[in-house]
Amino acid sequence: MSRTATIVGAGIAGLSAAAAVAPFFDTVTILDKDELPAMPRPRKGVAQDVQVHILLKGGELALEKLLPGARAALLAAGAVEVRQTGDVSIWEHDAWHPSRDLGHSQLLMSRPAYEWVLRRKVLALGNVEIRDNTPVEALAPEGSGLLVVATGRGDRLLASLDVPTTTLGIEVGYVSARFAKPKRYRGETRFIACIPKPPDDRYGLVCPVENDEWLITLCSRFDNKVPTDLGGFRAYATSLPIPDVADRLAEAMPLSPLRSYRIAEANWRHFERASGLPPRVIPIGDCISSFNPTFGQGMSVAAGHALALREALADGAANGNGLGQVAAAYLPRAAAVSEQAWAAAALADLEYPRTRGDRPAGFDRTLLASEAMRLAATEHPEVHLLRFEIGNLVKPNSAARSGAAARLVAKTLIRRRGE
């Protein structure tokens, strides 16, 4: 289709994009403003790379399609395989998820380690080069190749475009650090999440990562703030409605400073409805949709966008279309990936009365249906599995509207309405 493709940004979105476009171009060049470390280390350009990052199952499957052997490479680099739900403890809306074998597992590690593994996989493709210390200040007025913009939620390259945007004022803050496990927890692969029922805005995560260590994150919203000193951090953990996070944190020794991060808004830029996007320019990842980071959707949505880009390029090549038509084929596909993740994140965010943003028509009914699915999942393994697969971007939201599991949810909803 053309000899060259250029990608701005060497994060998960940019690396996934490189894997997507590599079969269609002679050379693929990734440009990044940072100096990229030779080993898994945090870097300036990823503001929250010391925080917990979760690769959803759908994201893992997308990466495996883009980069065959990605799963094995992540495991070889120390990713922790967490069985669903044998290695998972989730307290949600004031009740524990049941423990069942859902037939799935997820790979957990630190964000720098994810990037390091994927950089090596992408470079092994043979026609991809990465140029670090190379900032890009503006788009070239015209070019012959493909340009993919993967510059994240702070993107400035496309900021001047008039793009319809959906915005939620979420005001989420969180503090994380990496910890050495106390002796009694060494070898434990348990992932713990404490998600109380709104309006309680406290939140806690214990994430096992490489080297038998933990990343522990404590979250808050609005005026509530998580302390950034170790004593205050531990005290905040004891305020959670379950003791599991505080118990592990009490004797854990920090291996990194406590780092805070705060995000005021979640944004979905509807490029599929915009005009004026330069020809052969493709936005991807957080440039399109940036969610509440505590839901762990960003990396997986970026991988889904990249898979959509590969499909659009393949269709264009099969039909003899030029690069000028790729965006028209890609953007609706990318929007569908964003829509699924946004629907889940927005529903959870909008449960908090102080979240700014329009509640859609029938929002109360949607909340009731979501709660019915959560309750049905505690009783019925097939609903539990479906809820996991939809939440992990393995199956579309429409899967909840048909089939045996959907009928069980409907029965629970009818019962809830009668209470």
Q: Which of 408, 410, 411, 412 is nearest to 383 (CA)?
A: 408
Long-range CB pairs of 198-205 (<8 Å, 24+ gap) are 198/351, 198/352, 198/353, 199/352, 199/353, 199/354, 200/241, 201/352, 202/236, 202/239, 202/240, 203/174, 203/294, 204/237, 204/240, 204/245, 205/52, 205/245, 205/294
pTM greater than the 0.75 cutoff: yes
Which whole-number Å values give the CA distances from 112 to 52, 89, 123, 291, in the listed order?
A: 11, 25, 16, 20
357: left (phi over 0), alpha (psi -120 to 50) or beta: left
Backbone angles phi, psi at 104, to 5 degrees: -125, 155
Cis peptide before 199 (omega within 30 of 0): yes
For residue 38 the two structure tokens come to 């030779």
The separation between CA 295 and the C-alpha centre of its own chain, rounded to angstroms, equals: 7
- Per-position pLDDT tens, the chain of length 419: 468 999 999 999 999 999 999 999 999 999 999 999 999 998 888 878 888 899 999 999 999 999 999 999 999 999 999 999 999 999 999 999 999 999 999 999 999 999 999 999 999 999 999 999 999 998 876 667 899 999 998 899 999 999 999 999 999 999 999 999 999 999 999 999 999 999 999 999 999 999 999 999 999 999 999 999 999 999 999 999 999 999 999 999 999 999 999 999 999 999 999 988 888 899 999 999 999 988 889 999 999 999 999 999 999 988 888 888 999 999 999 999 999 999 999 999 999 999 999 998 999 989 988 999 999 999 999 999 999 999 999 999 999 888 888 889 888 888 766 65
Backbone angles phi, psi at 343, to 5 degrees: -60, -45
Give the integer Cα–Cα distance in Å for 321 and 317.
Answer: 6
| SS3 assignment, position 322 | coil
Residue extents of the structural domains in the chain: 363-418
Give the integer Cα–Cα distance in Å for 408 and 395.
Answer: 18
Give the integer Cα–Cα distance in Å for 227 and 235.
Answer: 9
Backbone angles phi, psi at 94, to 5 degrees: 70, 30
Judge whether 18 and 24 are in contact, CB under 8 Å.
no
- Sign of the Cα torsion 340, 341, 343, 348 reads positive
- Which residues, at least 6 apart from 83, have a Cβ–Cβ distance to it below 8 Å? 101, 104, 105
